[in-house]
């Protein structure tokens, strides 16, 4: 039984359509990540879940009960805003105890709960500090503790890590997920960082311009993205425009400005225009011609990007298109700009998409 369900929820602000017929389920104990660029409606969605906003159309249900009209205080969902909104005039302990006190617990019990929760996030030593004395990462943990202590079953996190340094994010994001899972809560975590979403979500929802573009477990959304935008936002890819020249059984031959790419065929019509997408790590790069690969092309390296654990090569193919290859094997000698190389990938690595109505560039726009 889903803990939270949206049925065709629409929300407008004046003339602006912030959310368009959103339907989703959040199951008990799930960690849902909502990924989308700025302005896609993520915060609005979260606020609707919290009850801070009411939908213009559609129904919101909690445990099969309609809650559109239920007040914020009675929703059993706690909202943690982007910059935490810690009460500046209260100590850390008072902040965390606020929830239980508000829900009517006697002071002694509230403080006990608060202390326990602070222990959980390892901040007991700063219980008497004021928020402004803490670092960003610590404030984040206090905000989390405050939400946990309130006893709410649903935790709504609005870009919880955006104000944290990149390196610290790597550590904190797992900690947040661990604490949520340990406490048996359900969480909805909004972010614009796809790696973050990928690494902590049980389910991912991709949002663009107020509409759901894809929804599913990270692995599925990554391997079989529902559209070009999803593929681009969630993982990144090289895209090519091509025309279906030939179909034989499960295979299609796509002409891409003179080159022919072997791709999986799924009801493709001849002479239709399609977009092909290739994940960077699926594109292999080698000095010589590899054997046993469905697609092999020669190209010249245009640029090399060092990313720490990998190198990304931009290779210009003979037809003028550029393809990206991400290489994790580190003891192979690195290639240099200008090197002639072989690019190869399997048929099954090729993602095939419909040609988007507004053109490729517009489709890829993030804002």
Partner 1 sequence: MLIVIIPAVAGIVAQLFSLPTLALGAAVLTRMESAVSWSFIIGLTVSSLDLLAGVPLAWLIVRRRGNWATVLDSLADIPFVVPTVALGFSILEFWSSPDGIAQLFGSNSLVPPGVILIMLLHFAFSFPVIVRVMVGEFLNYRETYEVAARTLGASTFTAVRTVTLPILRTGLLAAFLLALARSLSETGATIVVAGAFENGTVFISNARNAGQTSAVVLASLILILSSLVVFGVIKVVAPRIRVAPLRVWPDFERKLSKSSVVTVRNIASVAIFMAFVLFPCLFIALPAIMAVASGTATEAIAGAGPWKAFWSSMLLSYVIAVLATVVNIVSGLPMAILIARNRFGTGITKIVDALVDLPIIVPSLALGVSLSFFWKNMGSLPEFWVIVLAHTTITYSYFVRAMTASIQEVQPELEDAAKTLGAQPLRVFRKITLPLTKYALLSGAILVFTRSVDETGATSAVSKTLKTAPILLVSWIKGTVSVTSPERALGVGFLVATSFLALVVLRLIAIRQPSRKVG
Partner 2 sequence: MPKLDIIGVSKTYGSIQALTDISLHIEDKEYVCVIGPSGCGKSTLIRCISGIEQPSGGEILIDGQSVKRTLMEDRQIGYVFQDIALFPHLTVRDNLAYGLAVRRAPSNEMRTVTNEMLDLINMRDRSNSFPRELSGGAQQKVAVGRAIATGARLFMLDEPLGALDAIVRAELRYELRKLASDLGLTVIHVTHDQEEALSIADRVVIMKSGRIVEVGKPSEIYHVPNTLFTANFVGEANLLEGEILTIDANLCTVDVAGHEVKVYSFGKRIGQKVIAFIRPESVLLTPPTEDGWRGRVKQVTFLGSLNRYVIEVDGMEIISEVSTADYSTGFAVGERVSLFLNEATMVLFDYPEEGLEKEVGLE
Structure tokens given for 290: 């590899």
Q: Which of 2, 6, 52, 59 is nearest to 27 (CA)?
A: 2
- Does residue 160 contact residue 42 with C-beta atoms inside 8 Å? no
Q: Which of residues 162-191 bind partner 1 (CB under 8 A)?
A: 163
Q: Would you count residue 144 as binding partner 1 (CB under 8 A)?
A: no
**3-state SS assignment for residue 93:** helix
Nearest residue (CB) to partner 2, 75 versus 189: 189
* φ, ψ (nearest 5 deg) of residue 198: -60, -40
Q: For residue 282, which of 242, 326, 245 has the smallest C-alpha distance? A: 326
Task: Find the binder of partner 1 among 44, 117, 150, 295 (CB under 8 A).
Answer: 150
Is 16 an interacting residue with respect to partner 1 (CB under 8 A)? no
Candidate list 55, 235, 277, 299; residue touching partner 2; CB under 8 A: 235
Angle made by CA atoms 68, 18, 84, in degrees to the nearest 5: 75
Question: Number of residues in contact with partner 1, rule: CB under 8 A?
Answer: 35
CB 49 within 8 A of CB 82: no
Nearer to partner 1, 27 or 82 (CB): 82
Q: Count the residues of the shown chain that bind partner 2, applying the rule CB under 8 A.
A: 46
What is the C-alpha to C-alpha distance for residues 124 and 96, in angstroms, rounded to an integer?
Answer: 11
209 or 310: whose CB is closer to partner 2?
310
Q: Which does 268 bind (CB under 5 to 8 A by kind): partner 1, partner 2, none?
A: none
Tokens of 109: 């019990």
Q: Is residue 37 part of the contact set for partner 2 (CB under 8 A)?
A: yes
12 interacts with partner 1 by CB under 8 A: no
Binding segment for partner 1 among 146-154, 169-177, 241-249, 320-328 (CB under 8 A)? 146-154
Based on the shown chain and the rule CB under 8 A, indicate whether residue 282 belongs to the binding site for partner 2. Answer: yes
Enumerate residues 6+ apart whose C-beta is below 8 A from 126. 92, 133, 134, 138
Judged by CB under 8 A, the chain residues 290 through 349 that form the site for partner 2 are 305-310, 312, 326, 328, 330-331
When binding is defined by CB under 8 A, the residue of 6, 79, 234, 335 that contacts partner 1 is: 79
> What is the spatial distance between Cα 327 and Cα 312, in angstroms, rounded to a whole number?
6
Which CB sits closer to partner 2, 153 or 280?
A: 280
DSSP for 245-310 reads: EEEETTEEEEEETTEEEEEE-SSPPTT-EEEEEE-GGGSEEESS--SS-SEEEEEEEEEEEE-SS-
Yes or no: say if 186 and 30 are a contact pair by the CB < 8 Å rule.
yes
Member of 29, 58, 137, 264 binding partner 2 (CB under 8 A): 137
Does 74 contact partner 2 by CB under 8 A? Answer: no
Q: How far is the CB of 29 from partner 1 (least distance, A)?
A: 20
Strands 154-158 and 77-80: parallel
Q: Which residues lie near partner 2 (CB under 8 A)? A: 37-38, 135-138, 165-168, 170-171, 174, 192-196, 198-199, 218-219, 222, 232-236, 279-282, 284, 305-310, 312, 326, 328, 330-331, 366-367
Q: Which residues lie near partner 1 (CB under 8 A)? A: 47, 50-52, 72-73, 75, 77-89, 98-99, 102-103, 131-132, 134, 136, 139, 146-147, 150, 152, 156, 163
């Amino acid at each position: 039984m889903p803990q939270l369900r949206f049925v065709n929820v629409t929300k407008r602000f004046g003339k602006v359509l912030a959310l368009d017929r959103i339907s989703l389920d959040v199951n008990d104990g799930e960690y849902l990540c909502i990924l989308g660029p700025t302005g896609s409606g993520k915060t609005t969605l979260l606020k609707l879940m919290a009850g801070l906003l009411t939908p213009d159309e559609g129904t919101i249900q909690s445990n099969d009960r309609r809650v559109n009209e239920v007040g914020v205080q009675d929703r059993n969902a706690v909202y943690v805003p982007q910059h935490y909104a810690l009460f500046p005039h209260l100590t850390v302990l008072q902040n965390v105890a606020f929830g239980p006190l508000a829900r009517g617990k006697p002071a002694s019990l509230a403080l006990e709960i608060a202390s326990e929760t602070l222990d959980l996030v390892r901040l007991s030593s700063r219980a008497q500090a004021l928020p402004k004395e803490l670092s960003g990462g610590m404030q984040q943990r206090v905000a989390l503790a405050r939400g946990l202590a309130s006893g709410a079953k649903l935790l709504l996190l609005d870009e919880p890590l955006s104000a944290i340094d990149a390196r610290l994010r790597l550590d904190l994001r797992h900690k947040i997920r661990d604490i949520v899972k340990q406490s048996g809560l359900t969480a909805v975590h909004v972010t614009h960082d796809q790696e973050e979403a990928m690494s902590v979500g049980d389910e991912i929802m991709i949002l663009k311009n107020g509409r759901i573009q894809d929804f599913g477990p990270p692995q599925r959304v990554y391997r079989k993205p529902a559209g070009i935008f999803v593929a681009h936002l969630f993982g990144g890819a090289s895209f090519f425009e091509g025309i279906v020249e030939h179909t034989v059984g499960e295979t299609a031959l796509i002409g891409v400005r003179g080159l022919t790419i072997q791709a999986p065929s799924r009801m493709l019509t001849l002479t239709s225009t399609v977009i092909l997408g290739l994940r960077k790590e699926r594109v292999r790069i080698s000095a010589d011609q590899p054997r046993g690969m469905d697609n092999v092309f020669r190209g010249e390296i245009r640029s090399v990007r060092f990313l720490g654990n990998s190198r990304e090569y931009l290779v210009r193919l003979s037809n003028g298109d550029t393809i990206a290859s991400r290489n994790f094997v580190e003891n192979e000698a690195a290639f240099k700009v200008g090197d002639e190389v072989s690019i190869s990938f399997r048929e099954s690595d090729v993602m095939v998409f419909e040609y988007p109505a507004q053109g490729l560039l517009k489709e890829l726009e993030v804002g």
